[in-house]
């Protein structure tokens, strides 16, 4: 214990006569004040909320690590669950629901197979503008299926695919 005692003497915690020096500290008692309850913010009413939930699916995509972009820096979060929303829009009015999901930082997969082409183009244009505004990313999965991801989701695309026009299941396949 000699080394400890000499160390305590040097830093001024222990007196040379062997007694510890107690520093006088004044602790202020905290006054318990009642905390006013927070008012619950009113939830906005959406015109798209009256839709039935059969056209919207949320898929949990679990993984051991997910790469998330925030402000240009990448961070890896382990054991997180990412929810992907799958939406089958019927008309241009469904774009508001898709944009709300993207604003909530949830990736959205849109299936446009049952939508007429002019309406599908308008939907893609609207959501592409939303993606641009939130600095997100868009990927075409197939001819009528699109993936829209907000800024916090990093999409890894394999360089081995030969382009969307040369997919093996397409009828006009050049890879024979």
Q: What is the pLDDT of residues 38-93, one digit of tens each?
A: 655 555 544 444 444 445 555 555 544 444 444 444 445 545 677 888 989 988 88
- CATH assignment of the domain containing 145: 3.30.110.150
**Structure confidence by residue, pLDDT tens digits, 86-131:** 989 988 888 899 999 999 889 999 999 999 999 999 999 999 999 9
Tracing tokens 């709300």 back to the chain, one arrives at: 100
- Determine the pLDDT at residue 73: 44
Q: What is the pTM of this model?
A: 0.48
Q: Which residues contact 83 (CB under 8 A, 6 or more apart)?
A: 58, 59, 60, 61, 106
The count of structural domains within the chain is 1
Residue 23: inside a domain, yes or no? Answer: no
Tell me what the mean pLDDT of segment 155-164 comes to.
63
Residue 131: inside a domain, yes or no? Answer: yes
Residue 101: inside a domain, yes or no? Answer: yes
State the residue range of the domain holding 158: 55-166
Residue 79: inside a domain, yes or no? Answer: yes
């Amino acid at each position: 214990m000699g080394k400890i005692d000499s160390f305590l003497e040097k830093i001024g915690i222990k007196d040379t006569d062997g007694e510890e020096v107690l520093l006088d500290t004044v602790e202020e008692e905290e006054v318990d004040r009642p905390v006013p309850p927070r008012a619950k913010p009113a939830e906005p009413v959406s015109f798209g909320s009256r839709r039935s939930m059969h056209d919207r699916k949320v898929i949990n995509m679990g993984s051991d690590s997910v790469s998330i972009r925030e402000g240009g820096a990448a961070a890896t979060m382990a054991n997180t669950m990412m929810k992907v929303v799958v939406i089958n829009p019927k008309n241009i009015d469904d774009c508001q629901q898709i944009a709300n999901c993207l604003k909530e930082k949830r990736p959205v997969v849109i299936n446009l197979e049952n939508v007429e082409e002019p309406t599908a183009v308008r939907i893609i244009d609207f959501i592409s503008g939303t993606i641009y505004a939130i600095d997100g990313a868009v990927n075409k999965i197939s001819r009528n299926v699109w993936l829209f991801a907000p800024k916090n989701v990093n999409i890894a695309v394999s360089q081995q695919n030969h382009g969307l026009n040369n997919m093996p299941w397409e009828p006009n396949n050049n890879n024979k």
